Structure 1
Amino acid sequence: MGIAPFLWNFTYKFFGKLSVDPKTNLINLHAKIFLVGTVL
């Protein structure tokens, strides 16, 4: 479970740059759901 914080940190940094576009917001949401499903 030690890699989970790293994945979240990477996701927020990577997708945070793309979140300006409403379309990428949907991708951001899917990515977070995918990461949660992977961790759990």
Structure 2
Amino acid sequence: MFEYMTVQEASTKWNISEQRVQTLCSENGIEGIVHLSRVA
């Protein structure tokens, strides 16, 4: 099972903005990222 964190959790943990986390995700700037949608 994967361990994961939300954008909000990453933002707080890394002391960067949520927008910056999202940008890093979209630019593959975070190793091992897996995109999960909240849409059910």
TM-score, shorter chain, exceeding 0.5? no
TM-score, length of structure 2 as denominator length: 0.27
